Chain A
Amino acid sequence: TQLLEQSPQFLSIQEGENLTVYCNSSSVFSSLQWYRQEPGEGPVLLVTVVTGGEVKKLKRLTFQFGDARKDSSLHITAAQPGDTGLYLCAGGDTDKLIFGTGTRLQVFP
């Protein structure tokens, strides 16, 4: 069974702080996606990484895919209250996704 473990599970920080969320697996994935979910809504795709070692930036968010394509990280610079939500990584497995355990982020003003 493919599993994606995320850490930390919960994170509460002040506005302006930096943070990193990790997504780890013992399995190799063809791709890695990151989604953000806000209360009362479904997850929304942030980014897809497909090449080992790939780094993508989305404004203050930096995503990295591990060289072996088993892990990924999400770094947020100068977090803002609008970044609050549940962050989910998801590994590509042919035509479906395996979702991680999630990191719940709360950013206080």
Chain B
Amino acid sequence: DAGVIQSPRHEVTEMGQEVTLRCKPISGHDYLFWYRQTMMRGLELLIYFNNNVPIDDSGMPEDRFSAKMPNASFSTLKIQPSEPRDSAVYFCASSLYVQGTEYGDTQYFGPGTRLTVL
């Protein structure tokens, strides 16, 4: 069974350009998370969806960032315009809510997209 798929794996762009990162969660999972990881700030939650609906986007750094989940099998994270400080590894993760579970379920992470903004 395929895990979480992210594309592209590497992206190098110039400041001011639009960047779109893509994610395909594990089939049947109802939660999707977008994270950003840097050495300075660690792993930060940007936004997450439940059944394709955004639940909490308080981690999105600013209006230049937007995320969508048009269906259960696809999500995008867009940065427009990009800036050098956006350089990081962006991870997508998915999980399945288990009825009766009172705690956070296992999150399955994709391999990440390494973004470099010059």
State whether the Cβ of A88 lies closer than 8 Å to any Cβ in chain B.
yes
- Complex formed: what's the CA distance from A30 to B103 in Å? 6
Quick check: is A43 within 8 A (CB to CB) of the other chain? yes
State how many residues of chain A have any CB contact under 8 Å with chain B.
24
Q: Across the two chains, which residue of chain A brings its CB closest to B31?
A: A95
Residues on B with C-beta less than 8 A from A88 are 43
Please tell me the size bucket of the interface on B: 20 to 34
Q: Would you give the 0/1 interface string for B78-117, flagging 1 where the beta carbon is closer than 8 Å to chain A?
A: 0000000000000101000100001110110111100000
Give the distance in Å from the alpha carbon of A88 to the alpha carbon of B107 in the complex: 13
* A42–B33 alpha-carbon span in the complex (Å): 13
- Contact assessment for A95 and B104 in the assembled complex, using a CB-CB cutoff below 8 Å: yes
Interchain CB contact under 8 A, B109 and A42: yes
User: In whole angstroms, what is the CA distance A101 to B91 when docked?
Assistant: 16
Q: Are A90 and B104 in contact, CB atoms less than 8 angstroms apart? A: yes
Q: Which of B14-22, B48-56, B65-73 contacts A (4 or more CB under 8 A)?
A: B48-56
Query: Is B45 an interface position by the 8 A CB rule?
Result: yes
B112 and A42: CB pair below 8 A?
A: yes
Q: Interface with B: A18-26, A44-52, A74-82, which one?
A: A44-52
Interface residues of B (CB under 8 A from A): 4, 31, 33, 35, 42-45, 48, 50, 55-56, 91, 93, 97, 102-104, 106-107, 109-112
